[in-house]
Amino acid sequence: MLRRILLGLIVAAAGAGIFWWLTIPAVVAPASLAAYTPNVANGLAVFNAGGCSSCHAVPSQPDRLKLGGGLAMPSPFGTFTVPNISPDLTEGIGRWSEADFVTALLKGTSPDGRHYFPAFPYASYQQASVADARDLFAYLKTLAPVAGKTPDHDLPFPFNIRRNVGIWKWLFMDGKPFTADASRSPSWNRGAYLVNGLGHCAECHSPRNVLGGIVATQRFAGGPNPEGEGWVPNITQKRLGDWSAKDIEYFLESGQTPDGDTAGGSMARVIRNTSQLSPGDRAAMAEYLKSLPPVEGPPRSSKAKQKEG
């Protein structure tokens, strides 16, 4: 009996050790960031491509640069509240170092060494270049600080245990930056970088499994709205086959579809950002999206069909 108890304790300790090792939050060491003069103009472009204001701007007010957070994001795992990323010294990122910010964006780890929940789309942002992350940080520091603490996330057990996110990262993050495809044009590669990385389009436009990870075989094929209302459309050629690259460019600029409809809901907030991109970047995104093969998305429930009308 004693031998079984000891064996059980050893196995439990080994399991706990493996769990702890697998879930260690990754960080970017300050020493790894070589001397660099940030490009604030590029930081603005990164800000717009990344859609930062779509989530972090204070809700129900017109200033997209008032980054005090507070937007509630419902999900199957509970409700997340978007944090303050203004340069406020108390509630924002005013006291963060550059390494803190790069770590948060590319690794999903907070300055105090905890995992951020993946409602923050760092699984896509991990593809961003370190230079773009540094430029974004420099740009954010030029904005006005916004005072005010946002509410805590409202998550039930066990989803509120941040250490568990380390397993999620181990399953769904590869830690690799974007790598250009030498067989493709520079414009196509720029579009792939924007769509997959900074633009994090797959985060909403892909179905997810029971753990909240993107279903890789149906990437960009649409699915249930992560916020619980409606259906996010397929953006592969399964749905956009009749759209020209110019149609996609114009949609990203104006929110107008080829049939005269207008983007609504959270996509309207996205258009407020993509409309600020350069024409070249919108064209690059359109070129990449037109290259996506048709992929069948998940079947819609009767309830979802009724809501779509």
Surface-to-core class of residue 285, CB atoms within 10 Å of its CB (0-12 exposed, 13-18 middle, 19+ buried): buried
* pLDDT value, residue 20: 67
What number is the average pLDDT over the span 29-54?
93
- Counting residues of the chain whose pLDDT is more than 70, the rounded percentage is 90
Q: Cα separation of 121 and 163, whole Å? A: 17
Say yes or no to pLDDT of 302 above 60.
Answer: no
Region 154-164: mean pLDDT is: 89
Minimum mean pLDDT among 39-43, 265-269, 282-286: which range?
A: 265-269
Question: In this predicted model, what pLDDT tens digit does every residue of 198-217 receive, in sequence order?
Answer: 999 999 899 999 888 999 99
Instruction: Evaluate whether 49 touches 277 at the Cβ level (below 8 Å).
Output: yes
Q: Is residue 143 over pLDDT 60?
A: yes
Is residue 247 pLDDT above 50, yes or no? yes
Residue ranges of domains in the chain, CATH in brackets:
35-177 (no CATH), 180-298 (1.10.760)
Residue 231 has pLDDT above 90, yes or no: no
Arithmetic mean of pLDDT, 186-208:
94
Lowest mean per-residue pLDDT among 20-34, 43-57, 163-177: 20-34
What pLDDT score does 307 carry? 45
So what's the pLDDT on residue 18? 74
| Portion of the chain with pLDDT greater than 90, in percent | 63
* Strongest mean pLDDT among 52-61, 181-190, 231-240: 181-190
Sequence-separated (6 or more) residues with CB below 8 Å from residue 307: 229, 230, 231
Q: Does 308 have pLDDT greater than 70? A: no
Q: Model confidence over 164-179: pLDDT tens digits?
A: 999 999 999 988 899 9
